[in-house]
Amino acid sequence: MNQSAKPLSGKVALVTGGGTGIGKAIAIKLANEGARVIVAGRTKEVLMGVASMIFGEICVADVTIEKDVEEMFDNIKSKYGRLDIFVNNAGVSGPIMPIAEMDIEQWDQCVSLNLRGAMLCLKQAARIMTEQRSGSIINMSSLMGVKGYPMRTCYSATKFAIIGITEAMAREVGPFGVRVNALCPGAISGELMDRVVARRAIAEGKTEAQIIEENYTSVAALRRWVSPEEVADVTYFLATDASSSVTGERIRVDAGRF
């Protein structure tokens, strides 16, 4: 299939946190389906690695800084005149500890990126998309945005909030032809999850194998992790006209974790 015949041909997409993990997989998927993809993040070298794979562009920005966010979206609008797909993916796992021992500095850092950063980006995306009267926004929540987990109170709090923002925003911008949905991935295989498992093992006094078995694989209907590429596939669905009547929704991609 040539580039012009691909489903997302002519579409402009922005993926924050696009240098690693889920964000990287999403950027690759959207580019492979024809979109012009801008990957955003704080580390230029990491972003360049992804951009070179997909013939895309990079934007070095800290989404917790309003000026960075405004410049990022202004540059996209100036260069392309539009933004069709926005994947609001930048985030951190946050403190992993009992709430009675919470490190408030770590709490604030997590909230700043996962919530303030997401909101600052949504503010700008809404301005562009409502003006052009089209667009698809995919917010990255989590399974922990629909179900609280011990030791993860901060992360859960931010991801529950993303669900609320998604539902409220969908009703605001829907009359302008803009859709807003949230993805709720479960445990995703990769370096980030490896770090989370290691920190949980220390905090709970268990082996990493025990943490994985008890909390991630045995409790999933499919008895396995979810891959970043599987999340990217669902993101692609939400970015296309195949989901043209889907908005204000939260979709779990979690291998059936109950």
Q: Tens digit of pLDDT for each residue in 27-84? A: 999 999 999 999 999 999 999 999 999 999 999 999 999 999 999 999 999 999 999 9
Report the CATH number that the domain containing residue 80 is assigned in CATH. 3.40.50.720
Q: Would you say 188 and 228 are in contact if contact means Cβ atoms under 8 Å apart?
A: yes
Does 201 reside within a domain? no
Least confident of 107-111, 189-193, 254-258: 189-193
pLDDT at residue 2 greater than cutoff 80: no
Half-sphere exposure of residue 200: CA atoms within 13 angstroms, side-chain side = 21
Q: Would you say 137 and 76 are in contact if contact means Cβ atoms under 8 Å apart?
A: no
Residue 99 DSSP label: G
Does 210 reside within a domain? no
The verdict on pTM exceeding 0.75 is yes
Q: For the chain, give the percent of residues with pLDDT over 90.
A: 83
| Adjacent-strand bridge partners of 185 | 253
Q: Would you say 197 and 217 are in contact if contact means Cβ atoms under 8 Å apart?
A: no
> Is 155 marked active-site?
yes
pLDDT at 185: 96
Those residues whose C-beta lies under 8 Å from the C-beta of residue 28, and which sit 6 or more positions away, are 50, 53, 54, 232
Helix (H) or strand (E) holding 26: helix 21-32
pLDDT at residue 191 greater than cutoff 80: no
Question: 235-244 burial, b if ≥16 CB within 10 A, otherwise e?
Answer: bbebbbeebe
Q: Which two tokens stand for residue 15?
A: 């993926």
Does 90 reside within a domain? yes
Residue 142 lies in domain: 3-187+227-253
Q: Mean per-residue pLDDT for 119-147?
A: 98
Does 87 reside within a domain? yes
Does 67 reside within a domain? yes
Q: C-alpha dihedral over 175, 159, 36, 230, to 10 degrees?
A: -110
55: exposed, middle or buried (Cβ count in 10 Å: 0-12, 13-18, 19+): exposed
pLDDT at 189: 79
Does 209 reside within a domain? no
pLDDT at 39: 98
Sheet of 135-140, strand order = 57-60, 36-41, 12-16, 85-88, 135-140, 178-185, 250-253
Which one from 149, 155, 216, 236 is the annotated catalytic residue?
A: 155
Does 205 reside within a domain? no
Please tell me the total count of domains within the chain: 1
Residue 109 pLDDT grade (very low, low, confident, very high; cuts 50, 70, 90): very high
Q: For the chain, give the percent of residues with pLDDT over 70.
A: 98
| Adjacent-strand bridge partners of 16 | 40
